[in-house]
Every structure is written in C-alpha cells, then in structure tokens.
Homo-oligomer: A and B are copies of this chain.
C-alpha cells in the first residue's frame, strides 16, 4: 500500500483501498455531525488515518462479538471525537447500522454525543470528560496483566491482548493524565499504547497558547517509550509505529501523531473552528468535490466494504481459535475458570462474619472492622483486587496476596500512589475490562479529588467499591482540610452511587456484604477513624433490607426518635441515656443506607413511631432536612471544622450528647 506521498494534497483522490477507507471515515463522521447539526468534526478528519491503520491492521477484535474477552481494548479518550468511533464501528461491521449514524446525537439513538459504554456495541468506556479514558485504559491494561498472571498457566495464553487509547491535547493537559501515565510507567504496562492526536489546536486557539510541554520528554520521564509519526496521514509510518509499540512489552508506548484538525475541511482545517461545530452544507460539499467523494451522505464505497469483509473473516478466525483455546483452558483449569470467568465480573460469595469480630460491648473503628471484613471477603473472592492512594495502613485496605508491581502482576494489592483521581479512573478501567472486581480507598475528604471518575463509575454502573475512611470532624487534629463536612451528602447526590455509613463493626460487615453484592453500580463505604462501640447483630436484617435498624428502644412507646448514621449512632445512644435520666423515652435508629431507608419509609416496610425525630449526622444538614418532617429537627455541621482533639472539635461544633438531648427536648416542646 502507499502512503501520503503519492497524494498531491489533502483531499486528492484516494489511490488505495486504505486511503479510501480513511476518507470513508472522514465523510461518515462529517456527515453525522452535519445531520445532527451538532458535534465535533475536527478530530475525526485529522485522526482518521491513525484510527484506520490501527483498527484495520493492529487492533485484535471481532466486530461480530464486541464482548470477546481477549479482544484488544480501544479507548477514545478524546470522547468528543465520537463520530470517528461510530464510523469505525459501522465500517468494520459492529452492530451499528447507518440509521444510527443518521440519528447521531438524537435522544434514544445508539450514537450519543460522547461515547457511552453500554449504549453502543464496541464502546469500551464512556468518555468526554477529558483524561478519563486514558486512565481507564491504564486500568484495563493493568487488568489484562493481572488476569494473565492468574490465568495463563500450563502453557495457556487465554489472556493476551493490548490496550490502545487515542488522546488529545485536552487529555494530556488534565492532571489525571499525569497520575495515570506515571502509574502506568511505574507498573511497566508494556501492552498499553497511547496515540496522541497531536494537532496543536484547542478550543481557545493554538494549543501552544496555553501549553509548551515537550510531551514526549514528559512521557519518557514516566518511563514510557515514545515514538513520533511526523505525518499523521502517512499510513505506512503509522503502521510501523504501531508495530514498534506492539514489539515492546516492558514499557508502555506513547506515539505522538502530528495531525491537522479538520484535515481537508475548507477554511477551518488547522484552526479551532474545526473542533466543535458542523462544517456546514456548503463547506462539506466543497470538501466532497476536493476528495472526489460522492454527494450522497453516509457513503461507504464497495471496495471498502469488500476489504472489510476480508478482514472480518480473519478477525472471526482469530476469535474462533481463541474460543477453542479458552474451552481447553476451562476444562483443564475449572477452578481458575470459575474464579476468573474472563467474560464478566464474577459475583462474590456471601460474606460470613469473621470469627474474631468483637461482640457487643467492645469498641472498634469501622475502618478497622472494614479491614477485617475485607480480608475475610478477599479469602473467598479471588477476583477481588484493589488498593489505596498511599493510605493502605490508615484505610485498612491491604489484603493478603501480595503487592502488584512491574512484572509482578499476580499480587492483589495495587499501590496507586498519591493519585486518587487516576486510582478511581483505573478502577473503572479494571471493572470495564472484566474478570476482576476492583476496590480503592482514601480519606473521605479526598473523595473530592476523584469525584469526576466516581461520577463516571455511577454513569456506567460499574461495580467499583470505594472505601472512604476518616469520615468526619472526628478526624481531629489534622483540621478542616482533612475533616469532611459536606462529603457524605455530596456523594449521596451522585445518581446511582450507593452510599453506606455503618455505625459499628456489625454494620460494617453488612456494608461490605452489600457492597460486594452490588454488581449494578459503585458503592461508597464511609467509615470512621475513631473507635465506635459495637452494637451487635440485632436488627441487622432490617439494615440489610431497609437501610436502617433500631439499636435502642425504650420500654413502651418512645417520646422521640433519635435517628443517626455512622459514628453519630453512638452519640444518639448517649443522648438517649441523657434523655432517659430526664424521663424522656427515646428510640435510637441507625440509618446506614439513607436511600434505601427512604424507600422503605415510603413503602411502609420500615416504620418510625408517631413521634418527632432528631436526625443526627456529623456533616451538612441539607439531606437530612429533606428527610425530616415538620416537627423534626436536624443536628449537623454546616460549617468547616477545626483542628483539635476529635471529641473537643465535635463538642465545639455542637455534636455532643447533651446538645442532641437538648434538641430532642426542644422538638418535644418539653
């Protein structure tokens, strides 16, 4: 095949079927954007050659089975270039008919504005928020290595694929790209290749206006191999670069491909104008003439269809060969096949309480109870892997099974470093990859650092578990920078994120069981730094089914209910004792899972007595005010904390048994 040199100018007629295919991608994308009158033509026009050479010659995939476990993963981190991805999927024969391209960006289509995992076959992850896809790809590449280390035994190689990510200037300017690339370098993820669509244009102008990085030098500083394709329309050069990338399994590879944004588009090529607006009918028509392209939109030349048909046979044969090998592996290694089913995330066993769990009357921080539950879970759930953003000892998340490191992927504990954001996005990548069940951990206050990735986990319904410890002003001396106040509530605002704040060791055990069983979305476990009294197992079934349980009840009808979450349940119990001394009977309810609790109240499956409620949580009151009725009150903290001993700070901010009791007296009008 011939490269760009034989084409006199951008837009000259294609000489080869590959060039024809590249132009097909360009026009499919431009046509889709034009039909939607919305979208981003710039990246597809510039990056079509890089994408085509990758997809047609290097990507190991089978459009007939987008879920083939051993396929290469392709991540369009620059998600605004979705039209290119849809064009690739359509042309290579994924189940994405031309009608869907025509419906680009329409409600209910399979071609949403940014790629959405679960909506479109072949879309490996939801991208658009910049940099996320790159970090997802790091997680996928790590999952591949970790699964390979587990499954490729006895001469089998059932896990042996690569991960490719196409990134833009925006991805690389975002901080998460640093965290992710540095992590990948440290972990030696040699089967990861990042292709940089280096067009030197961002929305506000030339990229150089805001960025003067030597990007390749930067990636070399992370321990990556770097390559450069000076002419991003040179198909041979691209081919060679991908081949070189695939030849190095020790280091991840970064390929800078110099492209022209909006390549071939009259007036706007090479300018920010090409980025995010349709070309317009007139310019598109002029471009058709320049490329000698048929006038009807969404045209796929017969030569391209024929060439793809040939490749599809090869792809299908490759997959069939793998299927046979996989079948043999399953027969020879049934236990491995059960533990690591490759095609999905395995469900966990039911989590039995650990034998040495402290009984009622003892006291233990829920972060420590979590560590015990996690270790027990890890024992019976081999697919469980995870780690911490350099706080393993504080969050209690180092599990038996050894560390993961470059060349040592059989371990289970990943040292993400002080990189919360890349951790969360890499966990998403591991979950997307399948075969392993990921968890991560940091302090609750630093959930802000990873929030964009957590949101995407919720949007994609990925079963990632986040362990967030040090969950309130009880953090104490570290002060307001380390004391979460608004965080529990702000997590509850994310649709689809299950937020559990257990009150004691028993509820923590339950919380881990619920988290493990929740394969339909992410779960956040919100845990205390400080010791909390163990309340025991009574009512745990209510907590499981209805999100709440009664943990203290006076004889007879209660005058007031004290409903709290997490560490404030102990406080509520103390307040109940204070009230009892004053002749007021208080029931204490632990609301571990507020969302489920509200559903249960609504459904009448969990009932509160006909009495005012004082709701207590060491954080902003907004969400509890939403639950509270007109005669209730909410005790919380609507301000930042202070540095001091935890109990001092809590009391100073109005979180004392006496203060809660006073509020109860007030709502009773007593």
Contacts and interface: CB of A to CB of B under 8 A. Distances in A.
Interface of A: 36, 38-39, 79, 105-109, 112-114, 116, 126-130, 169-170, 173-179, 182-183, 185-186, 202-205, 209-215, 217-218, 220-223, 388, 390-394, 403, 405, 415-422, 445-446, 448-449, 451-452, 455-456, 458-459, 476-482, 485-486, 489-490, 492-496, 620-623, 625-627, 629-630, 638-640, 642-645, 648-649, 652
A595 to B, nearest CB: 10
Contact of A113 (B109, B169, B478, B648): B478
B643 A113 contact: yes
B643 A390 contact: no
B481 A640 contact: no
Number of copies of this chain in the oligomer? 2
Name which of A212, A446, A489 has the most chain B CB atoms within 10 A of its CB.
Answer: A212
A214 B220 CA distance: 8
Contacts of A481: 79, 114, 116, 126-129, 456, 459
A179 B388 CA distance: 23
A204 B393 contact: yes
A477 B106 CA distance: 7
CB-based closest 9 A-B pairs: A175-B175, A107-B644, A210-B417, A178-B178, A112-B643, A128-B481, A625-B626, A217-B221, A218-B221
A108 B496 CA distance: 40
Nearest to A619: B493
A547 to B, nearest CB: 16
Contacts of A176: 175
Contacts of A621: 626
Output the residue of A210, A482, A495 with the most chain B CB within 10 A.
A210
Contacts of A494: 486
Nearest to A38: B477
Given A185-B213, A638-B495, A202 B418 contact: yes
A392 B178 CA distance: 24
A109 B419 contact: no
Contacts of A644: 105-109
B479 A128 contact: yes
B495 A620 contact: yes
A202 B417 contact: yes
19 contacts: A38-B477, A105-B479, A106-B644, A106-B648, A107-B642, A109-B643, A112-B642, A113-B482, A114-B478, A169-B418, A173-B417, A182-B213, A186-B213, A210-B418, A214-B221, A218-B222, A495-B620, A496-B639, A622-B626
Given A478-B128, A493-B490, A652-B107, A390 B79 contact: no
A404 to B, nearest CB: 10
Contacts of A445: 129
Contact of A418 (B127, B130, B446, B622): B130
Contact of A204 (B391, B448, B625): B391
Given A212-B185, A486-B495, A645 B114 contact: no
Contacts of A105: 477, 479, 643-644
A496 B640 CA distance: 9
Given A204-B393, A213-B222, 5 more contacts: A105-B479, A107-B649, A114-B481, A128-B478, A202-B417
A107 B641 CA distance: 10
A129 B421 CA distance: 13
Contact of A495 (B114, B455, B629, B639): B639
A204 B392 contact: yes
Contact of A107 (B456, B459, B648): B648
A493 B621 CA distance: 9
Contacts of A489: 493, 622
A623 B627 CA distance: 10
B477 A39 contact: yes
Contacts of A477: 36, 38-39, 105, 113
Contacts of A107: 642-645, 648-649, 652
A109 to B, nearest CB: 7
A271 to B, nearest CB: 13
Nearest to A652: B107
A254 to B, nearest CB: 12
Contacts of A109: 643-644
B106 A479 contact: no
Contact of A452 (B211, B449, B458): B449
A418 B456 CA distance: 19
A574 to B, nearest CB: 20
Contacts of A645: 106-107
B223 A212 contact: yes
B419 A174 contact: yes
A281 to B, nearest CB: 18
A622 B623 contact: yes
Given A105-B643, A105-B644, A209 B485 contact: no
A130 B446 CA distance: 10
B210 A173 contact: no
A419 B213 CA distance: 13
B451 A448 contact: yes
A209 B405 contact: yes
Contact of A415 (B209, B214, B422, B479): B209
B114 A482 contact: yes
